[in-house]
Structure 1
Amino acid sequence: MKRKQMLYLVLSGALYFAAWTQAEPQQARVKDIASIEGIRDNQLVGYGLVVGLRGSGDSQQTVFPAQTLISALQKMGVTVPLSGGTQSAQSAQNMQIRNMAAVFVVATMPPFSRSGSKIDITVSSAGDARSLEGGVLLMTPLYGPDGQIYAQAQGALVLGGYTVAAAGNVRQLNHPTTARIPSGALVERAVPFELNQLKTVDVVLNDADFHTSERMAAAINKALGTPRAHAIDSRQVEIEPKPEEDRAALLDAVEAVEVDVSPRARVVVNERTGTVVIGGMVRLQPVSILHGGLVVNVVSEPMVSQPNPFGQGTTEVVNKTTVEAQDKPVNRIDLKQGATVEDLVQELQRTGAGARDVISILQAMKQAGALEADLEVL
Structure 2
Amino acid sequence: MRALLVAFLLVLTTAAQAAPVRIKDLANVEGVRGNDLVGYGLVVGLSGSGDSLRNSPFTEEIMAGLLERLGVNVTDDAFRPKNVAAVIVTATLPPFARSGSQIDVSVAAIGDAKSLLGGTLVMTPLNAADGEIYAVAQGSVLAGGAEASGAAASVVQGVPTTGNIPSGARVEREVAFDFSQMTDIRLALRNPDFTTGARVEAAINRALGDGLANLEDSGTILIDSSVLGRVNPARLLGQIENVLVEPETAARVVIDHKSGTIVIGEDVRIDRVAVSQGNLTLRVREAPVVSQPNPFSPGDTIVVPRSQADITQEPGIGFAEISGETSLSDVVAGLNALGIRPRDMIDVLKAVHAAGALHAEFIVN
Using the size of structure 2 for normalisation, the TM-score is: 0.88
SS at match of 1:174: strand
Q: 1:268–1:377: 8 Å Cα contact kept in structure 2?
A: yes
Q: 1:286–1:339: 8 Å Cα contact kept in structure 2?
A: no
Corresponding residue to 2:158 among 154, 158, 174: 174
Corresponding residue to 2:135 among 148, 151, 165: 151
The answer to whether 1:55 aligns with 2:48 is yes
- CA displacement 1:175-216 (0-9 Å, x = unmatched): 111111100011111111111332411000000100011111
Matches within 5 A, 1:281-320: 281-302=267-288, 317=303, 319-320=305-306
Instruction: Indicate the residue corresponding to 2:91 in structure 1.
Output: 107
Q: 1:40–1:111: 8 Å Cα contact kept in structure 2?
A: yes
Q: Kindly state the Cα deviation for residue 136 of structure 1 after the two structures are TM-superposed.
A: 0.4
SS at match of 2:325: coil
Q: 1:101 to 1:335 in 2, by over 3 A?
A: same
Matches within 5 A, 1:209-228: 209-228=193-212
Q: Kindly state the Cα deviation for residue 65 of structure 1 after the two structures are TM-superposed.
A: 1.0
Please tell me the residue identity of whatever aligns with 1:262. E
Matches within 5 A, 1:187-226: 187-226=171-210
Instruction: Indicate the residue corresponding to 2:325 in structure 1.
Output: 338
Q: 1:313 to 1:340 in 2, by over 3 A?
A: farther
Mean alpha-carbon deviation: is it higher for 340-349 or for 197-206?
340-349
Mean alpha-carbon deviation: is it higher for 69-78 or for 205-214?
69-78
Please tell me the residue identity of whatever aligns with 1:297. R
Please tell me the residue identity of whatever aligns with 2:129. P
Mean alpha-carbon deviation: is it higher for 208-217 or for 332-341?
332-341
Using the size of structure 1 for normalisation, the TM-score is: 0.85
Q: Percent identity?
A: 41
The answer to whether 1:268 aligns with 2:254 is yes
Mean alpha-carbon deviation: is it higher for 351-360 or for 288-297?
351-360
How far apart in 1 are the matches of 2:336 and 2:114? 46
- CA displacement 1:278-306 (0-9 Å, x = unmatched): 23332222221111111122344555577
Corresponding residue to 1:117 among 86, 89, 101: 101
Instruction: Indicate the residue corresponding to 1:91 in structure 2.
Output: none
SS at match of 1:365: helix
The answer to whether 1:96 aligns with 2:77 is no
Q: Kindly state the Cα deviation for residue 228 of structure 1 after the two structures are TM-superposed.
A: 2.3
Q: 1:15–1:349: 8 Å Cα contact kept in structure 2?
A: no
Corresponding residue to 1:258 among 236, 239, 244: 244
How far apart in 1 are the matches of 2:137 and 2:216? 41
How far apart in 2 are the matches of 1:33 and 1:304? 72
Instruction: Indicate the residue corresponding to 1:5 in structure 2.
Output: none
Instruction: Indicate the residue corresponding to 1:235 in structure 2.
Output: 219
Provide the aligned C-alpha RMSD in A: 2.9
Q: 1:266–1:373: 8 Å Cα contact kept in structure 2?
A: yes
- CA displacement 1:18-64 (0-9 Å, x = unmatched): 67657x45311110011011101111111111011111111231221
Please tell me the residue identity of whatever aligns with 1:59. S
How far apart in 1 are the matches of 2:28 and 2:301? 78
Please tell me the residue identity of whatever aligns with 2:360. A
Alignment gaps of 5+ in structure 2: none
The answer to whether 1:81 aligns with 2:84 is no
Alignment gaps of 5+ in structure 1: 1-7, 84-93
SS at match of 1:264: coil
How far apart in 2 are the matches of 1:44 and 1:166? 38
How far apart in 2 are the matches of 1:204 and 1:125? 36
The answer to whether 1:46 aligns with 2:39 is yes
SS at match of 2:320: strand
Instruction: Indicate the residue corresponding to 2:356 in structure 1.
Output: 369
How far apart in 1 are the matches of 2:289 and 2:111? 50
Q: 2:322–2:335: 8 Å Cα contact kept in structure 1?
A: no
Q: 1:267–1:375: 8 Å Cα contact kept in structure 2?
A: yes
Q: 2:190–2:219: 8 Å Cα contact kept in structure 1?
A: yes
How far apart in 1 are the matches of 2:257 and 2:9? 15
How far apart in 1 are the matches of 2:30 and 2:341? 44
- CA displacement 1:95-114 (0-9 Å, x = unmatched): 42211111111111111011
Please tell me the residue identity of whatever aligns with 1:29. R
How far apart in 2 are the matches of 1:68 and 1:354? 58
Please tell me the residue identity of whatever aligns with 1:369. G
- CA displacement 1:286-335 (0-9 Å, x = unmatched): 22111111112234455557799xx9997655654443211222214321
Q: Kindly state the Cα deviation for residue 148 of structure 1 after the two structures are TM-superposed.
A: 1.2
How far apart in 2 are the matches of 1:334 and 1:118? 61
